[in-house]
Amino acid sequence: MFTGIVTDIGTVAAVEPRGDTRFVITSGIDVRRIDIGASIACDGVCLTVVEREGDGGGGWFAADASAETLARTTLGEWRPGRRINLERPLRVGDELGGHIVSGHVDGVAEVVSVTPEGESLRVRIRAPRALARFIAEKGSVALNGTSLTVNEVDGTEFGVNVIPHTRAVTTWGDIAAGARVNIEVDLLARYVARLAETASWARAQGGD
């Protein structure tokens, strides 16, 4: 599990098709502290570390992605030089600064517009129609692995604010209209919607 609080910006160093696709990612994280088999969120996608090498000043790690992951996320678009948000898993006792994020991306959303608002950015996002019903005003959403608060919702579109600190420590400083971003809806919103559907079905069947 993750929190959507990005801890480093990594760079895709290599993309190697080999059945599954292997990504080699450089990072300022002390990769010696990452166990082989450990999870790390890469632009919001939970990937498993299969190789790593480095020293206290950083290094690189490699992770494999299946065809299913490439199809359902932006990973199929990744090329060497791309900057990506990284987050290590939540540990027991860690501060929960964002919201609970699983790293299981639900789909890909599109940036509709980016508008300066004071020192922040107002970013408008278009979600896939099947996911839009899980996005609520003042609720949380993970976009490229970053926990953000929803300002308003209008059909399949919603807005978020990106403050200067977030722009500085994530890839949101590079964002532009037309960009595609990984979206993971709030787990609580998903479960509430499922419970409501179950209750509605039970009433239709004549249950209590």
Chain mean pLDDT for the chain: 91
d(CA 49, CA 207): 48
Look up the pTM and report it: 0.89
In the chain, ranges of CATH 2.40.30.20 domains: 8-87, 107-194
Query: What pLDDT digit, counting tens, does each position of 125-184 carry?
Result: 999 999 999 999 999 999 999 999 999 999 999 999 999 999 999 999 999 999 999 999
Q: Flag whether pLDDT at 207 surpasses 60.
A: no
Task: Give me the percent of the chain exceeding a pLDDT of 70.
Answer: 91
pLDDT at 146: 97
For every residue of the chain, DSSP letters joined together read -B-S---EEEEEEEEEEESEEEEEEEESS-GGGSPTT-EEEETTEEEEEEEEEEETTEEEEEEEE-HHHHHHSGGGG--TT-EEEEEPPP-TT----S--B-S---EEEEEEEEEEETTEEEEEEE--HHHHTT--TT-EEEETTEEEEEEEEETTEEEEEE-HHHHHHSGGGG--TT-EEEEEE-HHHHHHHHHHHHHHHHHHTT--
- Where b means 16+ CB within 10 Å and e means fewer, 148-175 reads bebeebeebbbbbebeeebbebbbbeeb
Fold that domain 107-194 belongs to in CATH: Elongation Factor Tu (Ef-tu); domain 3 (2.40.30)
Q: Which CATH class is domain 8-87?
A: mainly beta
Q: What integer pLDDT is reported at residue 151 of this predicted model?
A: 96
